[in-house]
Amino acid sequence: MPVSTFEPRRTHPLYSTLLADATFHDLLLDFDQDLAIEARRRRCLLCRGVLHSARYRRKPRGRPAGLGEEHDWRFSFCCARAGCRTRKTPPSLRFLGRKVYLAGIVVLIAIMREGATVSRMRRLSELVGVNRRTVERWRAWWRVTFTASPFWQIARAAFMPPVDQDRLPAALLERFAGSGGEQLIALLRFLGPVTGGRVHAR
């Protein structure tokens, strides 16, 4: 196993709290609603037709219990014009491509995994119900699939000094300012372009 240079910091317990906090999930939903309104306002990309709601159910894993039914929907639209019917799915701060876990969890668990001891990893697994193999797959996704994506090939040029790709997503999260929650939201926003499923993630 490669030795990580990333020092787990005191922010990690905060992240666990964040993921279990219903108000944080409400906040992410608010952001997604704004993104959906904006996507609808811009109409169909192909024919400029009006968009109708064509949201679909997703039940991502790793969420706190007791979230309302409104959290189970992925905003999506369909062009109303017969003969077009093009689907348009806005970016999301909650859903990362086809991954079955919440986007925030895919980011944070991969980060918390860095330098994690066996016991820490076990507690993490109990918290969000994710096994070690899944976490390893996410790390591989960040380092192989994400880094090869057209989105990242362009976006990475904006970071100076360059982001250490071997330490993704931690190296990316650190580039955003604010508290743990603010940093995470900024990173999820940044990832928006890949959340529509163009970078396929399982």
Give the footprint of Zn ion on this chain (CB under 5 A). 44, 46-47, 49, 79, 81, 84, 86
Q: Which is nearer to Zn ion, 60 or 196 (CB)?
A: 196
Task: Go through 121-159 and write b for each residue having 16 or more CB atoms within 10 A of its CB, e for each that does not.
Answer: beebeebbebeeebbeebbebbbebbeebeebeebeeee
Nearer to Zn ion, 86 or 165 (CB): 86
Q: Which two tokens stand for residue 192?
A: 């928006």
**CA-based nearest residue to 185, from 6, 58, 26:** 26
Q: Return the number of the residue (43 or 132) whose C-beta is nearest Zn ion.
A: 43
Q: How far is the CB of 90 from Zn ion (least distance, A)?
A: 15
118-128 and 103-112 helices, crossing angle to 10°: 170
**What is the H or E stretch that residue 104 is in?**
helix 103-112
Nearer to Zn ion, 84 or 144 (CB): 84
Minimum CB–partner distance for residue 43 and Zn ion (Å): 8
CB of 79 to Zn ion, least distance (A): 3
DSSP state letters, 2-15: PPP-PPP-THHHHH
Tell the smallest beta-carbon distance from residue 76 to Zn ion (Å): 14
